[in-house]
Chains A and B, each alone.
Chain A
Amino acid sequence: MERETLEVDVLIVGGGPSGLSAALRLAQLQKQQGGEPLSIAVVEKAREAGAHSLSGALLDPSTLRDLIPDFQAKGAPLAAEVHEDNIYFLTPQKKFRFPVTPPPFENHGNYIISLNQFTKWLAGQVEAEGIDLFMGFAAQHVLYDGHRVIGVRLGDRGIGKDFQPKAAFEPGADIHAKVTIFADGVRGHLTKQLTRQLNLDAESGPAQFAIGIKEVWEIPKDRLKPGTVIHTLGYPLKEEEFGGTWLYAMPEGRISIGLVAGLDYHDPLFDPHAAFQHFKLHPFIKGILEGGQLMRYGAKALPEGGWNTQPKLFVDGGLIVGDAANFVNSMRLKGIHLAMRSGMLAGAAAFDAVRAGDTSAAFLSRYKAAVDESVIKTELYPVRNVHQAFGAGLIAGSAFAGFTMATGGHLLQDLPGHAGHKQMRTLAQYYGLQKRDVITGSNAAPFDRKITFDKVTGAHYSGTHHEEDQPVHLLVQTDVCHSICGDEYGYPCVRFCPANVYEMVDNGTGGKRLQINASNCVHCKTCDIMDPYAVITWVPPEGGDGPQYDGM
């Protein structure tokens, strides 16, 4: 089989905020310093820039200001400047306003943005610098020469369900690079391979994640002033569950609404999507949504573990940035500016390395040094134990968070973290022995098709689309599903997946069989993270497939 090979100086895998910032920084350094131009390529699995980007999102513009000082003049799509912060504690029927907004929740000077539009704009800035963006190409494997990363192999196109090449078969190209920057996002499938292969998590705590489920609604224009920010804690999550909700008002009656639930919940029957429906049915929120219309739906996991969960950031020929490196401040609910910052720093390190003709780990370690000197550490180090402390529950965690804020986190020993999927209890542990083989969630929600919608409808509003005749891109050891999972956990994949990818259907002989509706997938990675047996592996489907986020 003929496989094309492309040689570049710097390859960036992933066209999100971190990858695009790295690309732009490289172009800027090129301009400033002149000399032989570097060849730079960005590969991105989404068909269009930003189509797989989803976030709340509140943008702290500090990094943007450094990267693109005239971002306003260049038309950065910032939907609204935050003018009002509200934080509430919810009970099933009531809301209690926090008398003061805790400092991490203060958003004065920040912007409400649609990450996917922001990413699209950022990609435009990168393209204007003459950098090639390969959209709709999924990187499938890391290529090595011994311990050195030498690039990636793109996914083949035109393979049928039966793994046989179809008429339009095209083998994926190999892209070789002197430096490969891994910007493959939360639970990046390449960073995951790389971490295992080169043991990059030997000195970091287990990564921790949450799932964010988001909708965009249009509501009557006068209901919320653009720039209004609402966060809630408490209901519909249980005291033991980490997370909360957001509601951001944009112009023209558009709102971003969503729920974040820690992927370290204990109740095997918990369903994050159902929790989100309960949130929308809370009298406070229902009052805002009523008469409005659902426009968009999506979901994405987010890193929650913080500073102590960053993997080793540099290897021979490779760097890890952004969400792939877990650079999110879960206290401030922000990561875009840190992703961009890490991209800028990695871009600079890659530039120096190519110029110096030394792309060894030893040389590239200057990236880690730069991260340690940067706002990434200043911001993440003091709050490094906060998520871990929430393992002890909301009240204890909140007290810890307060103490951390007061002391700058200096007085405390590091708390051990636990891999989230190991926190899930079995049915027997959580409910006692009487519950077996149940599928319905403990928090099942009604779907009225006005305020609340089922997951299949959600998948539609994500615009997700996959070529149907291709191998299933969720690799599952189904013997586990068909033997012990029902009794032990009651098939939690059916509940934690926000897009109805996993379904247990009648197997025709009185039992159940796992049906994978792979084309519903919104690429959120939750299953790869939360499956208690760790038998689900997310691999990229054919390039260009996946959600079509617009305004998310």
Chain B
Amino acid sequence: MILVVAEQRDGKLNRASWEAIAAAQQLAGGATPIKIAVAGQALSGVTAELSAAAVTEVIAVDDAALGVYTPDGFVQALQQLIASVSPAVVLFAHTYQTRDFSATLASRLDRALVTDVTAIRSVNGATAYARPMFQGKLVADVVPQGPAPHLVTIQIGAFRADAVGKGAAAAPVSAASVTIDTAAIRQKPEAPFQEAKQAVDLSQAERIVSVGRGIKTQENIAVAEQLAKAFGAELAASRPICDNGWLPMERQIGSSGQTVAPKLYVALGISGAIQHLVGMKGSRTIVAINKDADAPIFEVADYGIQGDLFELAPALIAELQKS
């Protein structure tokens, strides 16, 4: 049995959970049953959403002590859950939260953990999890050793959320009973930072319009903003733009900013330095507009337009507004 641990916050499902479910369905190949667990408090909305997937069961791990995320609380809950359902493999989306607790969980369980997995394949009859090394230059096939369950985290954007097989009827939802020893929770979380509250989470955006040095001046950012609005997209940028303070750092894509994998990524005047590419090359459809035909962005673009973004962007906006 494969267990997928979905992630939610304040009753809102993290979109990357669907990608982990898609990975589980690929791994199961229709043969192995899949269960989805989600931990927190007041989970009925989230479990109803998750029960649309073609899985055998959705398990709510509902406890007052899990209302606010703490690594100690989640490790306790998931350790007990895994002991009671005995999965062969546990999949997580490789989110910030997963990164925070998964190593502790694996060590408590004394089981192997494979992180940031981009593909699952069979190598000589064994299940191998592909994960990037050397900043994506090499891909290693990792076959976890030791007794089950093996813990695996799935890189965001590696699997397609919309590829999740939906069930003919909603999967049954059950509640798991866990006992959380609140005295053993060492973290006392405070309210999220004000700045974090405002911060845009680009990794959740379905469409992104991203702007680079080709925009030339701060005033011209408005052009990109209008295009983003026309697409219903979030606005993002490459490094120089955020360096200049033309957009806040939280909108920076790339190795020193965020990694994103939206359905649509429009790169305006971005040359495509490798530091930028590693942050967005997982996007499903990449559209690049650049003056320089040799710009490396065209090597990853699905649609490339060589030309002046100041001519092309308004034309695109006009066209989008028609429809």
- Please tell me if A449 contacts chain B, counting CB pairs below 8 Å: yes
- Segment of A41-49, A416-424, A462-470, A535-543 engaged in the interface with chain B: A462-470
- Please tell me if B274 contacts chain A, counting CB pairs below 8 Å: yes
Q: Which of B193, B242, B252, B274 is in CB contact (< 8 Å) with A457?
A: B274
Question: In the complex, what's the smallest C-beta–C-beta distance from B150 to chain A, in angstroms?
Answer: 26
Give Cα A57–Cα B252 distance, bound, in whole angstroms. Answer: 37
Are B255 and A465 neighbours in the complex by a CB distance under 8 Å? yes
Q: Which of A293, A506, A515 is in CB contact (< 8 Å) with B137?
A: A293
Contact with B along A448-461 (1 / 0, CB 8 A): 01000000110111
Give Cα A383–Cα B204 distance, bound, in whole angstroms. Answer: 62
Q: Which of B217, B242, B249, B273 is in CB contact (< 8 Å) with A460?
A: B273
Are A469 and B193 neighbours in the complex by a CB distance under 8 Å? no
- Please tell me if A439 contacts chain B, counting CB pairs below 8 Å: no
Question: In the complex, what's the smallest C-beta–C-beta distance from B239 to chain A, in angstroms?
Answer: 8
- Please tell me if A375 contacts chain B, counting CB pairs below 8 Å: no
- Please tell me if B134 contacts chain A, counting CB pairs below 8 Å: yes
Give Cα A407–Cα B13 distance, bound, in whole angstroms. Answer: 79
Chain A residues with Cβ below 8 Å from B275 are: 456, 459-460
Give Cα A449–Cα B255 distance, bound, in whole angstroms. Answer: 19
- Please tell me if A333 contacts chain B, counting CB pairs below 8 Å: no
- Please tell me if B135 contacts chain A, counting CB pairs below 8 Å: yes
Considering the complex, which residues of chain A in the window 538-552 have a beta carbon less than 8 Å from any beta carbon of chain B?
Answer: 550
Are B255 and A456 neighbours in the complex by a CB distance under 8 Å? no
Chain A residues with Cβ below 8 Å from B252 are: 468
Contact with A along B136-149 (1 / 0, CB 8 A): 01000000000000
Are B256 and A460 neighbours in the complex by a CB distance under 8 Å? no
Chain B residues with Cβ below 8 Å from A469 are: 249
Give Cα A293–Cα B255 distance, bound, in whole angstroms. Answer: 21
Give Cα A457–Cα B255 distance, bound, in whole angstroms. Answer: 12
Chain A residues with Cβ below 8 Å from B49 are: none
Are B134 and A295 neighbours in the complex by a CB distance under 8 Å? yes
Give Cα A461–Cα B134 distance, bound, in whole angstroms. Answer: 8
Who on chain A is nearest to B274 by CB? A460
Considering the complex, which residues of chain B in the window 90-145 have a beta carbon less than 8 Å from any beta carbon of chain A?
Answer: 134-135, 137
Question: In the complex, what's the smallest C-beta–C-beta distance from A340 to chain B, in angstroms?
Answer: 29
Are B255 and A460 neighbours in the complex by a CB distance under 8 Å? yes
Q: Given A456-B275, A517-B243, are A508 and B217 neighbors across the interface (CB < 8 Å)?
A: yes
Are B134 and A456 neighbours in the complex by a CB distance under 8 Å? no
Are B274 and A167 neighbours in the complex by a CB distance under 8 Å? no
Q: Which of A293, A463, A515 is in CB contact (< 8 Å) with B135?
A: A463
Who on chain B is nearest to A296 by CB? B134
Q: Which of A167, A449, A468 is in CB contact (< 8 Å) with B193?
A: A167
- Please tell me if B296 contacts chain A, counting CB pairs below 8 Å: yes
- Please tell me if A519 contacts chain B, counting CB pairs below 8 Å: yes
- Jot down 16 A-B pairs with beta carbons below 8 A, ordered by A: A293-B137, A296-B134, A456-B274, A456-B275, A457-B273, A460-B255, A460-B278, A465-B256, A466-B256, A468-B242, A468-B243, A468-B249, A468-B252, A468-B256, A506-B216, A517-B243
Question: In the complex, what's the smallest C-beta–C-beta distance from A484 to chain B, in angstroms?
Answer: 25
Q: Which 9 residue pairs spanning A and B have beta carbons closest together?
A: A460-B274, A456-B273, A457-B274, A460-B275, A468-B249, A468-B256, A519-B256, A295-B134, A295-B137
Interface, chain B (partner A; CB < 8 A): 134-135, 137, 193, 216-217, 239-240, 242-243, 249, 252, 255-256, 273-275, 278, 296
Contact with B along A285-301 (1 / 0, CB 8 A): 00000000101100000
For the complex, count residues of A whose C-beta is within 8 A of B.
21
Give Cα A519–Cα B249 distance, bound, in whole angstroms. Answer: 13
Give Cα A476–Cα B256 distance, bound, in whole angstroms. Answer: 23
Give Cα A506–Cα B220 distance, bound, in whole angstroms. Answer: 15
Give Cα A469–Cα B239 distance, bound, in whole angstroms. Answer: 13
Question: In the complex, what's the smallest C-beta–C-beta distance from B177 to chain A, in angstroms?
Answer: 38
Give Cα A242–Cα B134 distance, bound, in whole angstroms. Answer: 33
Give Cα A463–Cα B243 distance, bound, in whole angstroms. Answer: 19
Chain A residues with Cβ below 8 Å from B296 are: 449
Chain B residues with Cβ below 8 Å from A515 are: 240, 243
Who on chain A is nearest to B138 by CB? A295
Question: In the complex, what's the smallest C-beta–C-beta distance from B159 to chain A, in angstroms?
Answer: 26
Question: In the complex, what's the smallest C-beta–C-beta distance from A292 to chain B, in angstroms?
Answer: 12
Give Cα A550–Cα B278 distance, bound, in whole angstroms. Answer: 19
Who on chain A is nearest to B249 by CB? A468
Question: In the complex, what's the smallest C-beta–C-beta distance from A478 to chain B, in angstroms?
Answer: 16
Give Cα A515–Cα B239 distance, bound, in whole angstroms. Answer: 12
Who on chain B is nearest to A466 by CB? B256
Question: In the complex, what's the smallest C-beta–C-beta distance from B51 to chain A, in angstroms?
Answer: 40
Give Cα A550–Cα B133 distance, bound, in whole angstroms. Answer: 12
Give Cα A468–Cα B248 distance, bound, in whole angstroms. Answer: 12
Who on chain B is nearest to A453 by CB? B274
Chain A residues with Cβ below 8 Å from B278 are: 460
Chain B residues with Cβ below 8 Å from A456 are: 273-275
Chain A residues with Cβ below 8 Å from B216 are: 506
